[in-house]
Amino acid sequence: MDTVVAYTDTSESLKESVRRAVDLLEAGQVVALPTETVYGLAGDALNQDAVARIFEAKERPHFDPLIVHVEGKREIAGVADIPDAIAKDVSRLTEEFWPGPLTLILPKKKVVPDLVTSGGDTVAVRCSSHPVFRKVMRSLQKPLAAPSANRFGSISPTSAAAVLKELGGRIPLIVDGGACACGLESTIVEITPGDPKPHLRILRSGAITVEELKLYGKIDKSTAVPEGSSPGAPGQLESHYAPRTPLRLLQSAESFVPEPGKTYALLSYRGREEDGYLALTDFVRVAVLSPGSGKLPEAAVRFFFLLRELDEAGVDEIIAEPLPSHGLGVAMMERLRRASA
């Protein structure tokens, strides 16, 4: 299959690309679309054949459920029920964070194929803020299943070029909307009633931080998914986000002793000498997440992009510096831990 890359850099190309995407989606095909987090591989969420095509292109095992995108809070009703006990909380969260990178787990409606939810009775619902994605949704008027547009277990794509490398030849269309503004996947949250605030269980840390969510609920540490375990939420699989090159996440600069004859690349946070990592060995390549001065949002935008670049550098091992364990650093550290598993 030939994969077409469609552009959105002029108002005409944008219009034409959206039309092409909508035509394909209406015909039950899959299309890679930009979102604010990472590129998604979209298909009509209520069309079993389209959903099957997503799994096939990604080589994704059927036990790993898909996130469903809706246009806004009102459209949740097309795919999920909102229990009365958390209706107010869902309203608060969607008012604050939608459109944006927050995914909510809700009881699924029957119309949603079991394939989408891996047979489960809940569905993950999200509302993207990306203007191109929103244009497609507005024109299509259907919910879209859209997991990250990479092969299963591989690094999430944050550019159209990365999608082409992952899925070129397998899908008919990639809409190029430029680099993703967040660069990390959505935060997945399960809400249970609580007084005065609901309990929010974070099933996957992501672009919305714990600090932001704290205002809207009690972050449930008791039920939080333990690091590295693989419960029902399979984004939690150990090998997720893995480069092909072995990756080692350091605890400290002192914990690294280079092996003679081996080649290394460094994923550095700030790229500063005084952090103690640059001089550890003669790194073949150094990628700096936040050359700006140690800003986590800057690091997040560049995170998967640089990980991909280092993976292609042909070294024996990628060495990753630890990142601050707050804000967006939590999501990046979780991904680095999994990549090093």
Q: CB under 5 to 8 A by kind: which of Mg ion, ligand AMP, none does 340 bind? A: none
Regarding 126 and contact with ligand AMP (CB under 6 A), the answer is no
HEC profile for 235-288? HHCCCCCCCCCCEEECCCHHHCCCCCCCCEEEEECCCCHHHCCCCCCCCCEEEE
Encoded one letter per residue, x for contact with ligand AMP by CB under 6 A and - for no contact, window 197-216 reads ------xx------------
Q: Which is nearer to Mg ion, 91 or 239 (CB)?
A: 239
Regarding 154 and contact with Mg ion (CB under 5 A), the answer is no
CB of 272 to ligand AMP, least distance (A): 32
Encoded one letter per residue, x for contact with ligand AMP by CB under 6 A and - for no contact, window 93-122 reads ------------x-----------x--x-x
Regarding 147 and contact with ligand AMP (CB under 6 A), the answer is yes
Q: Which is nearer to ligand AMP, 181 or 265 (CB)?
A: 181
Q: Which stretch binds Mg ion (CB under 5 A): 146-154, 225-233, 307-315, 321-329?
A: 146-154
Q: Which is nearer to Mg ion, 62 or 262 (CB)?
A: 62
Distance CA 30, CA 12 (A): 22
DSSP-assigned letter for residue 153: T
Q: CB under 5 to 8 A by kind: which of ligand AMP, Mg ion, none does 189 bind? A: none
**Coil, strand or helix at 226:** coil
Q: Which of 29, 94, 103, 148 binds Mg ion (CB under 5 A)?
A: 148
- Return the closest-CA partner of residue 175 out of 3, 46, 45: 3
φ, ψ for residue 191, nearest 5 deg: -105, 130
CB of 241 to ligand AMP, least distance (A): 10
Q: Which stretch binds Mg ion (CB under 5 A): 145-153, 171-179, 186-194, 217-225?
A: 145-153
Regarding 290 and contact with Mg ion (CB under 5 A), the answer is no
Q: Which of 36, 64, 89, 311 binds ligand AMP (CB under 6 A)?
A: 64
Regarding 188 and contact with ligand AMP (CB under 6 A), the answer is yes
CB of 65 to ligand AMP, least distance (A): 3
Question: Which alpha helices (DSSP H) does the chain contain, by range?
Answer: 11-26, 48-58, 84-97, 114-117, 131-140, 160-167, 210-213, 296-311, 328-339
CB of 154 to Mg ion, least distance (A): 9
> Which residues are CB-neighbours of 186 under 8 A, at least 6 positions away?
37, 67, 101, 102, 103, 126, 204, 206, 207, 208
Regarding 205 and contact with Mg ion (CB under 5 A), the answer is no
Would you call 284 exposed, middle or buried from its count of C-beta atoms within 10 A (0-12, 13-18, 19+)? middle
- The answer to whether the beta carbons of residues 21 and 160 sit under 8 Å apart is no
**Coil, strand or helix at 124:** strand
Regarding 235 and contact with ligand AMP (CB under 6 A), the answer is yes
Regarding 185 and contact with ligand AMP (CB under 6 A), the answer is yes
Closest residue to bound Mg ion by CB: 148
Strands 264-268 vs 31-33: parallel, antiparallel or unpaired: unpaired
- Return the closest-CA partner of residue 127 out of 146, 109, 100: 100
- The answer to whether the beta carbons of residues 187 and 204 sit under 8 Å apart is yes
| Interface residue list for ligand AMP (CB under 6 A) | 64-65, 67, 105, 117, 120, 122-124, 147-148, 185, 188, 203-204, 233-236
